[in-house]
Structure 1
């Protein structure tokens, strides 16, 4: 079962540092990083900068369409060349059926990821929590988490992962 996590950091560079730590933990087989994106929001900027993480594992990625639509919904800005209009309808329909990604989750992220902060969005699995947790002690990071059931994960992959590969 996959877990979608959002790690919020009180600085615009915290997410990049955390990503490097997570990549090291993946090399030690303490977590499997399936897909993700980084959001940095420098102080004074009107909107955040986003970057889809590619080649975390090569397989099981949801794709840029998922991240683009999710960030468009949260931050009201499209990324990765996605048009907002019809994309929101597709995202809303797909995410409405995924119990872990709901209006409350979107609202939490929107309220916490603001100018002067950064966030790391990850789809991960197989975390050895007693080894991963200590790697982040003292980081001053806030974890916003939602667990996806196997069925919810499959629906997201069906809606966003395979669709991207066909294009």
Structure 2
């Protein structure tokens, strides 16, 4: 099971400090990251995404990488789009089944007003008390949902497309 945590901040500088704190928590084995980003929205409403530098990059399996990219895109990069095509509709349906429903996505999008920022964390293991203690000084608005392992697998299979399992074997 992965935890999806989005922490919203009114100040980009605070979000960047919190982002670095999450990287340190990863290095201290407080959490196992599947994905990490800091998202900022400038005064013009333009979205900017920073992920760990290549030298510090989170090692992701193909499945985790596909999941992270899809979940991140659905939460952050495609606010307000209508369902386009059956494949995207299926992915949105799977996210809803996983607990990442429209209400959660709307809350995330509300955090990302112009001039704000958020740290987005997807972790397969997290020591909650240590994470909370380290992150508390940064404040912020915390949104969290769980992604069950079985649902993650099903979503990864759906992302891979038909016949991917046969070619991988």
Task: Please indicate, yes or no, whether the TM-score normalized by the shorter chain is above 0.5.
Answer: yes
Looking at secondary structure, tell me which structure has more helix per residue: 2
Which residue is 1:81 aligned to?
none
Which residue is 1:128 aligned to?
127
Distance 1:15 1:157 in 2: 29
Which residue is 2:59 aligned to?
57
CA deviation after TM superposition for structure 1 residue 39, in Å: 0.9
Which residue is 1:143 aligned to?
142
| Superposed counterparts of 1:31-42, under 5 Å | 31-42=31-42
CA deviation after TM superposition for structure 1 residue 52, in Å: 5.0
- 1:119 matched to 2:118: yes
CA deviation after TM superposition for structure 1 residue 31, in Å: 0.8
Moved more, 88-97 or 140-149: 88-97
Which residue is 1:28 aligned to?
28
- 1:17 matched to 2:22: no
Deviations 1:61-98 (A, max 9, x none): 2253443343233365xxxxxxx944743532332332
Q: Secondary structure at the match of 1:33?
A: strand
Pairwise CA RMSD of aligned residues? 2.7
Unaligned runs of 5+ in 2: 162-166
| Superposed counterparts of 1:66-85, under 5 Å | 66-74=71-79, 85=84
Which protein shows a greater Rg?
2
Which residue is 1:6 aligned to?
6
- TM (norm. structure 1) is 0.76
Change in CA separation of 1:131 and 1:46 when aligned onto 2, cut-off 3 Å: closer
CA deviation after TM superposition for structure 1 residue 123, in Å: 1.0
Unaligned runs of 5+ in 1: 77-83
